[in-house]
């Protein structure tokens, strides 16, 4: 074996980096993964039946806070940073920890990790978590389906269960969500695709996933890469769409690897211009032109609708938003918050005094979440804690700002209203204009 490697990750990009660059590479020996962001990932193993012939016993996964000790005890030569939506300060702080422990610090790039498809690939990525990738992906798929094309979506990984069983996952019906024991976070991403009539894949081994997607039994004309966080694509795109968020101006040039996506983009969608400050929109537009002057810019809005606005007006409301958007996405406002403001809520009730179990720990880990309730549901225990927290919070109405109907998963005793939002392009060019010129 060659240089000893530890991969710093969060159960996604780390496994992909291993599979594409290290798995059969005798120049390196991967001795461990470390895990962050996702609860209960550490303490497990990347299984031997996924790790290949060089690692028949699998590879252990440790908490990231043990990194300096692991580097020294395991005589690590190189630490490979392999997760997304991280500030440049955090990335370089991690590199300082690695270097101080004696190891080199590595970032793998697109040429090291992207897989080439035999089908056209459109990638949708972002500069931060929560920019609006999902509704952008849905809009692109709708346009392609109107052309009579068979679209197969492939989602950035969220493998939080049995990694061997999750090697390749195909979702074509709502029953598949139960079949694969999906978490709330997974359902939020897969369900909108399934109900629109297109198949979506996810899992752990994206080489195997790509082969299955290209040969999907329902047919495949185009593959849509539906990115996660602000990671760059696992597949080599023929058209790269990056979504930017004017609610966080400047972040497009200060978070890893969001700036990579911005610089690689053929198209940049500036989303949420209906609820953002004009100066902030222009800051984002200026930054796009600074680093990627050739990109086409699409102005987009995410208009908010509530199915029961009368349950918001004058009421004390609990606002539930998408979990990762609030936590490592660091958003201070989401669809539910906008709805509370739009429809005249009397008060947004603070859930923190009533948080229990793992959800209480989430608020401790991410204190800037504030009065919003992140829909954390990475496991049964966390879902139960979410249910208890909602029940204990004294409010008149629960506003569900997540992409799926949370009341289908969690028992909510208070009246609920869902918030809906889709991408609406403004002016020229629209995504349809760009897709009309995309050769398939």
> Would you state the pLDDT for residue 188?
77
Do 207 and 231 fall into the same domain? yes
> Would you state the pLDDT for residue 399?
96
- Retrieve residue 440's tokens: 């398939």
Please state the three-class secondary structure of 364-381 as a single string.
Answer: HHCHHHCCCEEECCCCHH
Do 33 and 133 fall into the same domain? no
**Can you give the pTM of this predicted structure?**
0.88
Indicate the angle between helix axes 380-392 and 357-365, nearest 10 degrees: 90
> Would you state the pLDDT for residue 245?
96
Number of structural domains (the chain) is: 3
> Would you state the pLDDT for residue 11?
87
- Please check the confidence at residue 6 and state whether its pLDDT lies above 70: yes
* CA-based R_g, the chain, Å: 21
- Retrieve residue 194's tokens: 């399934």
The mean per-residue pLDDT over the stretch 22-46 comes to 86
The mean per-residue pLDDT over the stretch 59-70 comes to 96
By mean pLDDT, which of 35-39, 131-135, 147-151 is the weakest?
35-39
- Please check the confidence at residue 16 and state whether its pLDDT lies above 70: yes
> Would you state the pLDDT for residue 359?
86
Could you give the maximum distance between any two Cα atoms of the chain, in Å? 67
> Would you state the pLDDT for residue 347?
96
Check: CB of residue 334 under 8 Å from CB of residue 370: no
CB atoms within 10 A of CB 113: 21
- Interatomic CA distance for residues 111 and 257, integer angstroms: 15
Do 198 and 333 fall into the same domain? no
> Would you state the pLDDT for residue 176?
83
Do 294 and 346 fall into the same domain? no
> Would you state the pLDDT for residue 44?
85
Last residue of a domain, one of 78, 112, 146: 112
Do 335 and 316 fall into the same domain? yes
- Please check the confidence at residue 1 and state whether its pLDDT lies above 80: no
Check: CB of residue 265 under 8 Å from CB of residue 233: no
> Would you state the pLDDT for residue 42?
60
Beta strands 255-256 and 86-87 are antiparallel
Give the dihedral sign, CA 321/132/207/88. Answer: negative
pLDDT confidence tier of residue 367, bands split at 50, 70 and 90: confident
Residue labelled with tokens 């991403």: 189
**pLDDT tens digits for range 228-262:** 999 999 999 999 999 999 999 999 999 999 999 99
Laid out side by side, the sheet with 168-171 consists of 168-171, 199-203, 151-155, 222-226, 121-126, 239-244, 267-270, 296-301, 424-426
- Please check the confidence at residue 37 and state whether its pLDDT lies above 70: no
> Would you state the pLDDT for residue 162?
86
> Would residue 8 be called left, alpha or beta, if left means φ above 0 and alpha means ψ between -120 and 50 degrees?
beta
What is the average pLDDT value for the chain, to the nearest integer? 92
Do 103 and 169 fall into the same domain? no
**pLDDT tens digits for range 162-188:** 899 999 999 998 888 878 777 777 777
- Interatomic CA distance for residues 275 and 246, integer angstroms: 9
Please state the three-class secondary structure of the chain as a single string.
Answer: CCEEEEEEECCCHHHHHHHHHHCCCCCEEEEEEEECCCCCCCCCEECHHHHCCCCCCCEEEEEHHHHHHHHHHCCCCEEEECCCCEEHHHHHHHHHHHHHCCCEEECCCHHHHCECCCCCEEEEEECCCCCCHHHHHHHHHHHHHHCCCCEEEEECCCCCCCCCCCCEEEECCCHHHHHCCCCHHHHHHHHHHHHHCCEEEEECCHHHHHHHHHCCCCCCCEEEEECCCCCCCCECCCEEEEEECCCCCCHHHCEECHHHHHHHCCEEEECCCCCCCHHHHHHHHHHHHHHCCCCEEEEEECCEEECCHHHCCCCEEEEEEEHHHHCCCCCCCCHHHHHHHHCCCCEECCCHHHCCHHHHHHHHHCHHHCCCEEECCCCHHHHHHHHHHHHHCCCCEEEECCCCCHHHCCCCCCCEEEEEECCEEECCCCHHHHHHCCCC
Last residue of a domain, one of 59, 86, 112: 112
Do 16 and 55 fall into the same domain? yes
The mean per-residue pLDDT over the stretch 335-362 comes to 92
> Would you state the pLDDT for residue 7?
98
**pLDDT tens digits for range 141-166:** 999 999 999 999 999 988 777 899 99
The domain of 140 spans 121-303+424-437
- Please check the confidence at residue 104 and state whether its pLDDT lies above 90: yes
> Would you state the pLDDT for residue 333?
76
Do 232 and 341 fall into the same domain? no
The mean per-residue pLDDT over the stretch 129-143 comes to 92
Do 173 and 292 fall into the same domain? yes
Give the Cα-Cα-Cα angle 196, 261, 338 (nearest 5 degrees).
55
> Would you state the pLDDT for residue 197?
82
Do 261 and 130 fall into the same domain? yes
Do 148 and 239 fall into the same domain? yes
**pLDDT tens digits for range 279-337:** 999 999 999 999 999 999 999 998 889 999 999 999 999 999 877 777 766 777 788 99
**pLDDT tens digits for range 387-434:** 999 999 999 999 998 877 788 888 999 999 999 888 999 999 999 999
Check: CB of residue 189 under 8 Å from CB of residue 226: yes
Do 139 and 168 fall into the same domain? yes
* CA distances in angstroms from 139 to 17, 25, 110, listed in the order given: 29, 40, 26
Residue labelled with tokens 């630490």: 79
Q: Give the CATH number of the domain where residue 294 resides.
A: 3.40.50.300
- Interatomic CA distance for residues 201 and 28, integer angstroms: 30
CB atoms within 10 A of CB 214: 13
- Please check the confidence at residue 63 and state whether its pLDDT lies above 80: yes
- Interatomic CA distance for residues 3 and 231, integer angstroms: 26
Check: CB of residue 343 under 8 Å from CB of residue 312: yes
Last residue of a domain, one of 54, 82, 112: 112
Q: Give the CATH number of the domain where residue 54 resides.
A: 3.40.50.720
């Amino acid at each position: 074996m060659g240089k000893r490697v530890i991969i710093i990750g969060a159960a996604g990009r780390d496994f992909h980096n291993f599979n594409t660059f290290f798995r059969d590479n005798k120049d390196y020996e991967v001795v461990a993964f470390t895990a962050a962001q996702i609860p209960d990932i550490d303490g497990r193993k990347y299984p031997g039946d996924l790790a290949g012939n060089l690692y028949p016993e699998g590879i252990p996964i440790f908490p990231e806070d043990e990194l300096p000790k692991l580097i020294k005890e395991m005589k690590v030569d190189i630490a490979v940073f392999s997760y997304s939506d991280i500030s440049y300060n955090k990335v370089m702080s991690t590199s300082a920890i690695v270097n101080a422990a004696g190891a080199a610090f590595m970032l793998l790039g697109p040429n090291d990790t992207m897989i080439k498809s035999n089908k056209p690939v459109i990638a949708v990525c972002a500069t931060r978590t929560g920019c609006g990738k999902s509704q952008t992906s849905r809009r692109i798929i709708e346009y392609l389906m109107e052309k009579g094309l068979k679209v197969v979506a492939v989602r950035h990984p969220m493998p939080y269960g049995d990694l061997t069983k999750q090697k390749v996952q195909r979702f074509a019906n709502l029953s598949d969500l139960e079949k694969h024991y999906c978490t709330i976070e997974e359902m939020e991403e897969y369900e909108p695709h399934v109900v629109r009539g297109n198949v979506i894949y996810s899992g752990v081994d994206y080489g195997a996933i790509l082969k299955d997607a290209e040969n999907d039994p329902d047919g495949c004309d185009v593959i849509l890469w539906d990115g996660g966080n602000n990671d760059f694509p696992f597949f080599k795109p023929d058209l790269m769409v990056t979504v930017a968020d004017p609610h966080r101006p400047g972040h497009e040039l200060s978070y890893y690897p969001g700036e990579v996506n911005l610089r690689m983009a053929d198209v940049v969608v500036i989303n949420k211009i209906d609820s953002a400050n004009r100066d902030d929109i222009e800051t984002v537009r200026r930054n796009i032109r600074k680093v990627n002057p050739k990109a086409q810019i699409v102005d987009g809005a995410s208009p908010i609708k509530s199915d029961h606005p009368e349950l918001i007006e004058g009421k004390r409301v609990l606002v539930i938003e998408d979990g990762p958007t609030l936590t490592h996405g660091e958003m201070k406002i989401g669809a539910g918050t906008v709805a509370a403001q739009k429809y005249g809520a009397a008060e947004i009730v603070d859930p923190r005094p009533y948080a229990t179990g793992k959800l209480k720990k989430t608020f401790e880990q991410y204190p800037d979440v504030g009065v919003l309730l992140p829909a954390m549901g990475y496991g049964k225990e966390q879902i139960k804690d979410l249910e208890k927290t909602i029940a204990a919070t004294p409010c008149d109405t629960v506003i569900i700002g997540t992409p799926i109907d949370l009341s289908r998963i969690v028992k909510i005793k208070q009246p609920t209203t869902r918030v809906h939002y889709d991408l609406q392009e403004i002016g020229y060019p629209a995504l349809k204009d760009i897709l009309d010129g995309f050769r398939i």
